[in-house]
Structure 1
C-alpha cells in the first residue's frame, strides 16, 4: 500500500493518521507541492484533480481523504470506525460533510493563508472557523467522541485542521471541550502527529 501525501496537508494527515490507527504498513510517498508535482502528468493519472492524498492499494487507486477513510474502514473490517447501522453511519457521514464544507472553508482556509499564502480574506475565514468550532464545541458537550460512544472516522476527519487551527491565527483557547477531545484523539494507540509549523498563534494548552 502506498500513500501519496504532503506533511503539511491536513487532508493527507487524515489518511496517514487513520492508516496508523489501523496498524497498516504503508509506504509514504511525499509529493512536492512547491514544485507542483501534484500537477504533473504522472500524478494526474492517479488523481485528475491534482490533489493529495492518493492511496494506491495494489493498483486500486483511491483519491480524496474522506473516500480513503471510508475505503480503509470498509476493507479492514473496522466497523467501530464506520458503523454499519443506518443511524450510526448517518452520524458519521454528517461530520464527513462538515469536514468537506465548514472545516475546509474555515480553519483549513485560515491555515492556507498563513502556511501556503492563499489569497483568502483572513478575517472572513477566521470568522468561519470560529463558527464551526463553536458548533463542534457544543456537539461535544457531555460526549467523549463526535459521532458515537467510541472513536470513528468522524473524529479522524475533523482532527487535523482543528489541531492546527492556531497556525491560521484561529485562537482555540476558549474551546475546552475541543481541547479535551483533541487530547483523547492524541492518546489513541497508533496516533501520529500532524507536522507543526512555527506560523500563527501558540496552541492552547
Structure 2
C-alpha cells in the first residue's frame, strides 16, 4: 500500500523539485493532481492540509507537510541518510542559505519571469530581470569554482535551486553565457533516477 501522497500542479517547479527528490531517493508515492482552475487548493479540505492554500502538500502516513523546501528537508533527513542534508553545522547552514535563495531570489527572478510569460501574471518586469541577472552571476561564479552549490557533493540545495533555473528559458532568459550553470544542470540531469518535467529542456 502506497503511504506517500503528493498534492501538486503538473507545471509547478516547486512541485517538480519534490517529484525529482522522490525519484532520486527511489521512493514510491501517489500523485494527486490539484485542480487549479477549479480552485481546489482553496477548498476547505485542502486548507486543512495547508492553510496557505498552496501546493505542494506532501503526506507520509500521518505526517502532512507544506512548502517544497520543507518537504526536501524532510525527505533528506527521513530517507536520505546523511547524504542530502549532512549533520555538519557549516554544511547544513550552507544548504539552508541556498534554500532561502530558492524562495527569495529565484522566486522574485526566474520564477516570476516564467509566471509572467507563460501564465500572464503581472510583475515588475525590470526588477525580475535584474534579480535574475544578479542571481545567475552569483551562480556562475560559485559553480565555476565548485561542482555543487553547498558542499563538495550534491545536496538538497541543488535540487531546490535547479527547477526554475532549468525552466528559465520559459521566462525569456538565456543561459548561453553561463557555461558553469549549464554544466551543473547537466550533472543533475545525469543523476541516476533523474526525471524531467514538461517544458524543461534537458
For the criterion TM > 0.5, the same-fold answer is: yes
Aligned-pair distance for 1:124? 2.2
Distance, in Å, in 1 between the alignment partners of 2:196 and 2:37 is 22
Residue 66 (structure 1) aligns with:
69
What secondary structure is seen at the aligned counterpart in 2 of 1:84? coil
1:111 aligns with 2:114: yes
Deviations 1:146-187 (A, max 9, x none): 111111000000000000001011111111000000000000
Residue 167 (structure 2) aligns with:
164
Q: Which runs of 5+ in 1 are unaligned?
A: 198-202
Distance, in Å, in 1 between the alignment partners of 2:131 and 2:69 is 21
Q: TM-score, normalised by structure 2?
A: 0.95
> Are the counterparts in 1 of residues 77 and 85 from structure 2 also a CA contact under 8 Å?
yes
Residue 98 (structure 1) aligns with:
101
> Are the counterparts in 2 of residues 126 and 169 from structure 1 also a CA contact under 8 Å?
no
What secondary structure is seen at the aligned counterpart in 1 of 2:15? helix
Distance, in Å, in 2 between the alignment partners of 1:154 and 1:108 is 17
Q: Which runs of 5+ in 2 are unaligned?
A: none
Give RMSD over aligned pairs: 1.3
> Are the counterparts in 1 of residues 25 and 80 from structure 2 also a CA contact under 8 Å?
no
What secondary structure is seen at the aligned counterpart in 2 of 1:140? helix
Q: 2:145 aligns with which of 124, 142, 150?
A: 142
Residue 9 (structure 2) aligns with:
6
Runs of 4+ aligned structure 1 residues displaced above 3 Å come to none
Aligned-pair distance for 1:132? 0.5
Number of aligned residues: 199
Aligned-pair distance for 1:194? 2.4
Residue 200 (structure 1) aligns with:
none
Between 1:188-197 and 1:127-136, the stretch displaced more is 188-197
What secondary structure is seen at the aligned counterpart in 2 of 1:114? helix
Distance, in Å, in 1 between the alignment partners of 2:131 and 2:174 is 12
